[in-house]
Each structure stands twice: as C-alpha cells, then as structure tokens.
Structure 1
Amino acid sequence: MDQEQILSRISSMVDDERTLRDSLASGAIDEATERARLGALERELDRCWDLLRQRRAKAEFGENPDEARVRPAAEVEGYRS
C-alpha cells in the first residue's frame, strides 16, 4: 500500500468509527456486538497509522518506504504515545 492508499483507508475507517460511536451513543444498535466491532476497528486504525509513520520515517531517512510492513496489532497496541 502506498501513502495515498493508507490515508484513504484511514479516512474511511475514521468515518466508520464516527458512525459506530454515534450509533452507540444513541442506543440505535446492539451495544455488545458493536463494541467488539469498534475495538477491532480501533486496532486496525492503529496498525494503519503505524504503517504510515513507518513509511514516512523511511522516506525521511533515505530508505525505501515500500519496505515498511504492517505490524501485529499486539505489537502496535503496546506502544506508548
């Protein structure tokens, strides 16, 4: 995935996340099922942001951004902000 594809995917997932959160807040959907879906979406968003940061860092330091790889959710979730 190139940078534009990653950004497009992030944008789409952010829209989905916003819709889910609004639906949860209004009580319009099954909370248990959608909370699990929201958690999975948040983990995938974290992975996409991580991939984008990797690509940008590689490009900044003269490396090939195509060598960046999607890391496991467990690894990405363990990072500190």
Structure 2
Amino acid sequence: MTQQSPSGEDSVLARIHELVGEERDLRDQLAAQQIDADTERDRLAAVETQLDQCWDLLRQRRARLDAGQDPDEARVRPASEVENYLS
C-alpha cells in the first residue's frame, strides 16, 4: 500500500484555508466600501474557481490513496473541467 504524502495534502488544505480567508476578506472589504461590488464579484469568482480546483485535487489525492496509488500523482484539473462537474 502506498503511504500518504502528508505534506501534499497539508499544502492543498493550507491553500483551501487561504482561499476561504480571501473570500471572507473580500466580503469584509465590500461591507467597508473598500472595493465595489463588481470588483468583489470578479475576484470572488476567481477565488471560487480556485477553491473548486483545490477540492477536486484533494478528492483525487484521497481516491488515489484509497486505491493504493500514489496521491502525489494527482494533478490540478483545468478550471473548465472542474467547473462543469454535475452535482
């Protein structure tokens, strides 16, 4: 069985936490009128896409681990692919 690469998963989780913080900061900046609604919307869309890619990468890593494969072989998929997944 392949061992999990904690640093790989940890780095993905750290990036997720950074992006969630950025989402919160953008909402706070809008509420404080430091940015306008269009700027917030555009930046939030980019952050949400990156979050979707991170969550997808984390799922890939965990699936590879469960299948006895190397989780470090998981790769970030293009936004166009990740954003078109069905719920």
Q: What TM-score results when the alignment is normalised by the length of structure 1?
A: 0.89
Aligned length: 81
Note if 1:13 corresponds to 2:13: no
Give distance in 2, aligned partners of 1:46 and 1:26: 27
Once the two structures are superposed, residues 23-75 of structure 1 have per-residue CA deviations (whole angstroms, 9 ceiling, x without a partner) of: 33454421112211110000001000000000000001101111101000010
Q: Percent of pairs identical after alignment?
A: 58
Highest relative contact order (Cα 8 Å, sep 6+), 1 or 2?
Answer: 2
The structure number with the bigger radius of gyration is: 2
* 4+ residue runs over 4 A deviation: none
Give the alignment's Cα RMSD to 1 decimal: 1.5
Match of 2:10 among 4, 9, 12: 4
Aligned counterpart, 1:38? 44
In the alignment, structure 2 segments of 5+ residues that lack a partner are 1-6
The amino acid that maps onto 2:37 is: E
Determine which structure has the larger helix proportion and give its number.
Answer: 1
